Amino acid sequence: MASFVLSSAAMAQTVITVNNASARYNAKITAKCESAHFHGEAKIQLLEKERNRAVQTFSSKDFIVQLDSNWKEGDKKAGIADNQQPLVFDDFNFDGEEDVAIRNGNNGSYGGPSYDVYVYNTAKKAFVADKMLTRLASENLGMFETDRFRKQLTVHQKSGCCWHSTITYGLQPGRGLTKVAEVVEEADAGGDMVTVTTSQLVNGKMKKSVQRYKAQEYYKEKEAH
């Protein structure tokens, strides 16, 4: 879990220091925090851990983070509430370089978190905005998941209480995203049965199978795995 320390940079600004979200970078987030729930414009500066050297500065017009409940305006230091992910570091495009996703609003499905994604460009020696990955991190249920071994990204979607979809994309340099699998779970109105439609990319074509399960047994087995 990321470790955050809050300090006052000036009366009008607060600096949130993020130290343990990345193996390579620390971050300083400058914002005007007037309450424990910050929601507004912020500047994010990445620093190289090894040399404590500033690397690059980003901006978010709709940065969101929850401070510790004990924080009050004017405090120089405070904790951050648990389970906060204002920054996500990972190798999103599987090129061996650490990338960063920065919280920018609640534009995901059902008002979920959305992120601007920046990938590290070795030729430019800088992080550059990635529109494709930003869209993926902004139109689904939160941040996408990465599978480094398979070089795949997974997103989740839902409609109401009874329809859920898990979509997996393959990512190859220069070729963009290719949908390789999708699992749709649709519970009956009574909730006793669930229809599971599985689609997989086989030899360039999506092959589909449909199965019916008792809902209680299906979800119990799913949770076990």
| Domain-located, residue 171 | yes
| Domain-located, residue 79 | no
Query: To which H or E segment does residue 38 belong?
Result: strand 37-48
Q: Based on the structure, what is the number of domains in the chain?
A: 1
Domain that holds residue 162: 144-225
| Domain-located, residue 64 | no
| Domain-located, residue 200 | yes
Q: Model-level pTM greater than 0.85? A: yes
Q: Find all residues with CB under 8 Å of 107, minimum gap 6, and list them.
A: 114, 138, 139
Q: Which two tokens stand for residue 181?
A: 């699998």
| Domain-located, residue 7 | no
| Domain-located, residue 35 | no
Q: Look at 17 and 151; give whichever has higher pLDDT.
A: 151
Closest to 60 in 3D by CA, of 90, 97, 100: 100
Question: What band does 160 get if pLDDT is binned at 50, 70 and 90?
Answer: confident
- The pLDDT tens digits for 3-32 are 555 544 444 578 888 888 899 999 888 888
| Domain-located, residue 205 | yes
Rounded mean pLDDT of 179-184?
98
| Domain-located, residue 32 | no
Residue 73 and residue 71: Cα distance in Å, rounded?
Answer: 7
